[in-house]
């Protein structure tokens, strides 16, 4: 395992601390040190001591550059998505077993209306999916999946909404992009369908690469991790390299650690606590933890429809570690929580 850097010791403001703190990914957060992970050894290196302690290490220098580089905005159709602050992606599932009331595979007008409500509530992106990825969910034929999502995408795009298509199948990607989708969100990181990388490269659109243990078999499974944080990082690093080799512009790649996909509760908690490590990939981070099973595991087995509080807690945790995109079912509540979080951040920046 190679060296990894995790930003730690976050501070309220960089004022008066020049040279002692670094800005995280051009966003609203500053940090004063790195946790340096090498094999099983971990140590803390202050930003002020970085050049002396790690400046001669090419891997460390590259990670530091990636962690501190601003993330350029993404163009999604006629809209531009800024990544210097956390944004909310609203989930619209055109599936019969959705976590939420938007699951209307036979009523695309109602599903699109749900998406427009999310946009009005502050979502920056509407993520439309037509196949459930929950454990044990049946595989949906690509033709049926396309029939579910295309009418929804068409309506949303025609109304000016920025839309992403949540699919692992190349034909569904093609159909949704033709209907107006501007981003591909693939839970298999372009590994399920051999044509997927080519579709994304030709479209020139942004893509989310999500981690799961064995995407060719499905999004769940896996036999455990020795160090989930660094292993998921290394896997995503390899997928980014493969995507770039396939012709996808690195500046259009977003990463997702895959909370809940083939991971235990302990794994999920480790990924969430260590989320800042993934800034070393040099790409925006999407966090999808809304209504996940881990919330029930921590809160009296609360069913999916009663996990709002936990979802908000995880969204704020993600924002506090620099996640640029928070993918959620409950848009209005999450947007409100993040506005309050941002107000606190803004006040801290100017406080004396």
* 3 state SS of 35: strand
Which candidate, 271, 269, 264, places its Cα nearest to that of 135?
264
Chain-centre distance for alpha carbon 51 = 31
Residue 287, token pair as written in the block: 């966090």
* 3 state SS of 51: helix
Chain-centre distance for alpha carbon 331 = 15
* 3 state SS of 43: strand
Residue 240, token pair as written in the block: 């980014």
Residue 292 annotated in active site: yes
Interstrand relation of 74-76 and 79-81 (parallel, antiparallel or unpaired):
antiparallel
Residue 289, token pair as written in the block: 């933890």
Q: Could you count the other beta carbons within 10 Å of the beta carbon of residue 136? A: 7
Which candidate, 29, 125, 8, 31, places its Cα nearest to that of 84?
29
- Measure the CA–CA gap between 350 and 151, rounded to whole angstroms: 47
Which candidate, 194, 205, 155, places its Cα nearest to that of 171?
194
The neighbouring-strand residues paired with 34 are 7, 45
Catalytic residue among 71, 168, 292, 307: 292
* CA geometry: angle 251, 20, 337, nearest 5 deg: 60
What distance, in Å, lies between the first and last C-alpha atoms of the chain? Answer: 43
Catalytic residue among 168, 327, 342, 352: 327
Q: Which residues are catalytic?
A: 292, 327
């Amino acid at each position: 395992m190679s060296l990894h850097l995790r930003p730690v010791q976050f501070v309220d403001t960089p004022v008066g601390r020049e040279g002692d703190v670094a800005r995280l990914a051009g966003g609203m957060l500053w940090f004063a040190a790195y946790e340096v992970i090498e094999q099983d050894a971990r140590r803390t290196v202050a930003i002020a001591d970085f050049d002396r302690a790690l400046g001669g290490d090419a891997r460390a220098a590259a990670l530091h550059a990636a962690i501190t580089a601003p993330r350029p905005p993404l163009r999604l159709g006629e809209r531009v998505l800024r990544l210097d602050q956390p944004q909310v992606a609203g989930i619209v599932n055109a599936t019969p077993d959705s976590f939420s009331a938007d699951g209307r595979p036979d009523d695309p007008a109602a599903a699109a209306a749900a998406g427009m409500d999310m946009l009005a509530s502050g979502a920056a992106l509407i993520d439309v999916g037509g196949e459930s990825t929950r454990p044990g969910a049946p595989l949906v034929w690509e033709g049926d999946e396309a029939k579910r999502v295309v009418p929804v995408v068409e309506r949303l795009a025609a109304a000016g909404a920025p839309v992403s298509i949540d699919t692992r199948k190349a034909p569904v990607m093609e159909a949704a992009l033709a209907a107006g989708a501007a981003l591909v969100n693939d839970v298999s990181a372009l590994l399920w369908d051999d044509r997927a990388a080519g579709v994304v490269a030709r479209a020139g659109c942004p893509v989310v690469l999500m981690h799961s243990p064995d995407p060719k078999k499905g999004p769940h499974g896996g036999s455990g991790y020795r160090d989930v944080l660094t292993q998921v990082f290394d896997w995503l690093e390899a997928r980014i390299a493969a995507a770039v080799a396939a012709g996808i512009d690195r500046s259009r790649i977003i990463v997702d650690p895959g909370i809940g996909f083939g991971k235990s509760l302990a794994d999920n908690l480790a990924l969430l606590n260590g989320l800042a490590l993934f800034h070393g990939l040099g790409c925006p981070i999407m966090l999808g933890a809304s209504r996940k099973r881990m919330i029930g595991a921590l809160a009296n087995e609360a069913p999916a429809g009663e996990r709002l509080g936990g979802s908000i807690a995880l969204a704020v945790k993600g924002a506090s570690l620099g996640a640029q995109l928070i993918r959620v079912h409950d848009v209005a509540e999450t947007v409100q929580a993040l506005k309050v979080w941002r107000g606190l951040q803004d006040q801290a920046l100017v406080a004396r």
